[in-house]
Structure 1
């Protein structure tokens, strides 16, 4: 397929993931990624700022999905219910490709630089959720605390989901993670409505 073929971005993401898995992140160059995808380095840099970003290209879409769901929840919902709706929307995003998510996470887990980048993306997601909560009328520290608690629940759910067979649905795992948080802070059982 030529360098102007369809889905250059997707081809670059897949090529990078293959090479990172085969050789390791540090040993893989942008030139090798572009070559594996049948593209040029110049095309690579049209889509990604650096070779780390190939693994985080879906972050913007994920943030939009989560924030959109938080904003669409009925006004009567509590801040945490709104965040849980956003996290439920994230499940649909990940369940599209379980195996790719596992491979991607294995690459990130094997590299401290990528782990730091992932933490940065989580921080950006928490800030976006906090902004959505502010727009819903949640004031002051409550919005930040709820957003950060949501990130903890998200990370726990994601780890459980990756650690399973991939056949389990996201929503029950989200419910388990939220219930664990409520147990730690002394609350009751959680209700999760993925709508």
Structure 2
């Protein structure tokens, strides 16, 4: 029996991850997760409102960390550089939790209900990043565009890291943002030529 709330929460998360991999999300119940973790079902529901949320724990912490990192980014950076700074800081936690992060992403990828929940999480986090950029003085339109594009680039980097763990998440982030800059430059260059 876990001795602390944090230990029970961690065991519930691990049990859920194992069961979702073995049986699939839809075939696993909260009671089965609780039993695997060595706690009762009431304990499960004290920690998580439903079996989806086991995989989405820490959202509020991530949101706060991203907003703080955007606020703390050095002065004089453009919005994309601010976002790269913030994502690199927050990615450390994801990288440190790879044994949980990687299977979590794979389970979400094959489960429609979880993909829907993941999209809602992404929208909430994107809004937070846009708000943080606005607090730094970016206009509404620019903050929204930068947050959406930056978040998509971050997600692209995380997927690349899951697919290719031989390089760090930081290396994948740097490459993804470099690719985005190159793409933007190509578009602007092509537009300038077309106007000539």
TM-score of the pair, normalised by structure 1:
0.90
Structure 2 match to 1:170: 169
Q: Once the 2 structures are TM-superposed, how far is the Cα of residue 66 of structure 1 from its aligned partner?
A: 1.7
Distance, in Å, in 2 between the alignment partners of 1:2 and 1:93 is 24
Structure 2 match to 1:11: 11
Structure 2 residue 140 is the aligned partner of structure 1 residue 140: yes
Structure 1 regions of 5+ residues with no counterpart? Answer: 189-195
Aligned residues: 187
Do the aligned residues in 2 keep the contact of 1:3 with 1:38 (CA within 8 Å)?
A: no
Do the aligned residues in 2 keep the contact of 1:130 with 1:143 (CA within 8 Å)?
A: yes
- The higher radius of gyration belongs to 2
Distance, in Å, in 2 between the alignment partners of 1:45 and 1:85 is 36
Distance, in Å, in 2 between the alignment partners of 1:64 and 1:26 is 31
Q: Deviations over 1:73-92 (max 9, x none)?
A: 12211111111111101220
Distance, in Å, in 2 between the alignment partners of 1:22 and 1:113 is 18
Q: Deviations over 1:142-161 (max 9, x none)?
A: 00001001111111100111
SS of equivalent to 1:50: coil
Q: Once the 2 structures are TM-superposed, how far is the Cα of residue 111 of structure 1 from its aligned partner?
A: 0.5
SS of equivalent to 2:50: coil
RMSD of the alignment, in Å?
Answer: 1.7
Do the aligned residues in 1 keep the contact of 2:2 with 2:8 (CA within 8 Å)?
A: no
Q: Once the 2 structures are TM-superposed, how far is the Cα of residue 138 of structure 1 from its aligned partner?
A: 0.9
Q: Per the alignment, do residues 80 and 2 of structure 1 end up closer, same or farther by CA in structure 2, a change over 3 Å counting? A: closer
Comparing 178-187 with 79-88, greater Cα deviation is found at 178-187
Do the aligned residues in 2 keep the contact of 1:65 with 1:90 (CA within 8 Å)?
A: yes
Structure 2 regions of 5+ residues with no counterpart? Answer: 188-196
Distance, in Å, in 2 between the alignment partners of 1:133 and 1:104 is 29
